[in-house]
């Protein structure tokens, strides 16, 4: 980390919990420095949404910017390229895979936060592929920058850092929770499924409905999902 102080506290995975570090770590860091970087596990659809709707809601904090980390390799794989062929330039597959990144951008914007896309560079990334991702992100209204910190250390991520600081200082991010505290638990689940994962609806068996109703009867209905 090149001398940058860090807190390692908490950190449950987002597929089994909320996927964020502890409130104590974040709030302590905010008192000690001008900019704090924290990670929400997995993607913007999982840890990212939980960071906003659970951690920020309960801790009374809000991010000034969200960094979406992507790789051209992964986007090409989303577009149908086999792992052994990822080093080959494939603009068609990359464009198809961009729909995945677009969804994450939209999810962050839906929560009221301005995103910056950090493209982690690999040696096989072609200039044409890099330019395609930047152009597609620009069309979404977000800035995409190359990050080469694996090879160059902090200097390789300086452009991304400057873009993040610019967004933070702009004050444009205004956190909007996906659901209200008093929304019924089942409707909170439905809202997440439809708004973040774009499900048409959810199918809920009676035992699950009964369990949710029991939670509400015990006073847990205002808890986040």
Same domain, 140 and 53: yes
What confidence tens digit (pLDDT) does each residue in 129-179 have? 999 999 999 999 999 999 999 999 999 999 999 999 999 999 999 999 999
Residue 207 is assigned to a structural domain of this protein: yes
Same domain, 141 and 96: yes
What confidence tens digit (pLDDT) does each residue in 71-118 have? 999 999 999 999 999 999 999 999 999 999 999 999 999 999 999 999
Residue 51 is assigned to a structural domain of this protein: yes
Same domain, 210 and 126: no
Residue 222 is assigned to a structural domain of this protein: no
Same domain, 201 and 141: no
- Three-class SS of residue 67? strand
Residues 72 and 62: beta-carbon distance below 8 Å: no
Residue 9 is assigned to a structural domain of this protein: no
pLDDT at 182 over 90: yes
Say if pTM beats, i.e. exceeds, 0.95: no
Residue 147 is assigned to a structural domain of this protein: yes
Q: How many domains does the chain contain in total?
A: 2
Residue 153 is assigned to a structural domain of this protein: yes
Q: How far apart are CA 176 and CA 166, in angstroms?
A: 21
Structural domain boundaries enclosing 153: 23-170
């Amino acid at each position: 980390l090149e001398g940058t102080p860090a807190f390692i506290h908490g950190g449950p995975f987002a597929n089994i919990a909320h996927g964020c570090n502890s409130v104590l770590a974040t709030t302590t860091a905010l008192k000690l420095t001008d900019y704090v970087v924290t990670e929400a596990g997995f993607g913007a659809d999982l840890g990212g949404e939980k960071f906003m709707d659970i951690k920020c809601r309960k801790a009374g904090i809000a991010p000034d910017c969200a960094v979406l980390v992507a790789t051209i390799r992964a986007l090409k794989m989303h577009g149908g390229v086999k792992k052994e062929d990822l080093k080959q330039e494939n603009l068609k597959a990359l464009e198809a895979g961009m729909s995945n990144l677009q969804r994450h951008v939209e999810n962050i914007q839906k929560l009221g936060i301005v995103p910056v896309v950090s493209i982690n560079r690999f040696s096989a990334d072609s200039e044409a592929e890099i330019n395609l991702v930047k152009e597609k992100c620009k069309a979404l209204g977000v800035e995409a920058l190359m990050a080469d910190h694996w090879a160059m250390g902090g200097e390789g991520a300086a452009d991304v850092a400057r873009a993040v600081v610019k967004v933070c200082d702009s004050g444009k991010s205004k956190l909007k929770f996906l659901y209200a505290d008093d929304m019924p638990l089942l409707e909170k689940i439905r809202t997440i499924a439809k708004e973040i994962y774009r499900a048409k609806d959810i199918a809920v068996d009676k035992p699950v409905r009964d369990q949710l109703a029991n939670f509400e009867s015990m006073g847990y209905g205002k808890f986040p999902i």
